[in-house]
Amino acid sequence: MTHISRRTVLRAAGAMIALPVLEAMLPGRTLWTRTASAATRTLLAAPPARMVFVFLPNGVDPAAWPGSAVASLSNHAGKFSVMRNLCHRNAEALGDGPGDHARSSACFLTGAHPLKTSGGDISVGISVDQVAAARLAGTTRMESLELGGEPGMTAGSCDSGYSCAYSANISWRGAHSPNAKEDDPRRVFERLFSRGPEGESSSEREARLKMRSSILDAVRDQASALNRKLGTNDRRKLDEYLEGIRSIERRIEMMGRDDASDSFKASFAASTPPSEPTDYRQRITLLSDLAVLGLQMDQTRIVTLMLANEGSNRAYPDIGVADGHHDVSHHGNDESKIKKFAAINAWQGERLAHLLTKLQSAEENGGKVLDHTMVLYGGAIADGNRHNHDDLPVIFAGGSALGIQHAPERTFAIGTPLCNLYLSMLAKMNVKADRFGDSSGSLALDSIAQ
């Protein structure tokens, strides 16, 4: 087995694949014996801390949540906590009248109250993910990765005089600048694994992709040459890793054959559900899997994923909900709508379970990617029928290697700002900050004692 650099990549024909941590990358490898190899792994610097934020729109049915979400997380017991009594006061009207949906998504990661406008003078505040991204600038190829199940918007009026930019974005690199999110898995795949020459035009890019049938086909010779230098464990790990990439590539190819992306975008232009009931589920699953690969390759350490835009009225026909999401969230105590709303909340919880499973399955330096990754799942509306912003639906997961301890439910003082949790997460990312948003202090994540 030959020592190789931690920065080794497979590169050919515009394709580039970063590698996971392999034993051959460890310092002092030539001194290994079978009994010493495990101890030698500790010589490698610990994997980096990471943050993932998953946003769910339209609130929840409090009577069914968190039970509906937690039911999907049975395989992750001990690795997550339901966080109770966290609030976002800046998502409240504060004299601005209607517009809870736009305020909620704008406030979710910023902790700030957005300026009520549907024009170009949008203003809210930098989001917590971008505070960390600025601190980590230059350490990874992409400072952050923004994803979403529905297209982004930067203009227009979407909620009682609030700009659509507020409803469709949670990541803000500055008070006036939302980060555009990517809703097409094919383009995310290209960002992660493909690099054309500098200044490449769209037509040149299209021609290059047609010539290269597969990312892995492009680097096949390099992968084979690398395999010959690796030991048995590394060969197995590399094969599993590359097969994971191949699997995602095939699924994206099938998605393209079905023209799912085009039908998806057309459906939103017409404000109707996608023609194929499974399109949206497939889209969220692919985006989640790509996010995990991006973290595992250390292409980025910060990810945001909007399951849908705030105020979304999409239907969920694959779980028997033909009504719009926003419509059933305002159920007015109609039992049939409440059941449909709870079914959507359960579906969202299943998406979180899938993400945690993928993070738990991804290995690095003898551990799991989830152990070094903090995952925050939630929104800034609690009861979807009432539009309140206290006791928000928040699940916090992962990060055991960062010292984070979990309990099935962690209850804080009523009115505790959600930004207190963000401040604690920034500390785990080694980002020094005395305050963030409307924080009043930090939460003790290393202990379950309140």
The tens digit of pLDDT for each residue in 115-160 reads 999 999 999 999 999 999 999 999 998 999 999 999 988 888 999 9
pLDDT at residue number 136: 94
Question: What tokens appear for 398 in the block?
Answer: 């992962």
pLDDT at residue number 23: 82
Quick: pLDDT tens for 249-288: 888 877 765 544 444 344 333 333 333 334 899 999 999 9
The model's confidence at residue 35, banded by pLDDT at 50, 70 and 90, is very low
- Tell me what percent of the residues of the chain surpass a pLDDT of 70: 86
pLDDT at residue number 5: 83
Is the CB of residue 91 less than 8 Å from the CB of residue 381?
A: yes
Is the confidence at residue 305, as pLDDT, over 90? yes
Is the confidence at residue 228, as pLDDT, over 60? yes
Q: Which of residues 419 and 277 earns the better pLDDT score? A: 419
CATH for the stretch 50-183+280-428: 3.40.720.10
Question: Residues near 138 by Cβ (< 8 Å), separated by ≥ 6?
Answer: none
Q: Which stretches of 50-178 are assigned E, i.e. beta strand?
A: 50-55, 80-87, 145-148, 157-159, 162-163, 172-174, 177-178
pLDDT at residue number 198: 63
- Tell me what percent of the residues of the chain surpass a pLDDT of 90: 63
List C-alpha distances in Å: 303 to 130, 241, 377: 10, 20, 12
- Using CB atoms within 10 Å of the CB of residue 412, give its burial: 0 to 12 exposed, 13 to 18 middle, 19+ buried: middle
d(CA 48, CA 374): 11
Q: Looking at residues 346-362, what average pLDDT do you find?
A: 97
pLDDT at residue number 204: 64
pTM here is 0.87
Is the confidence at residue 27, as pLDDT, over 90? no
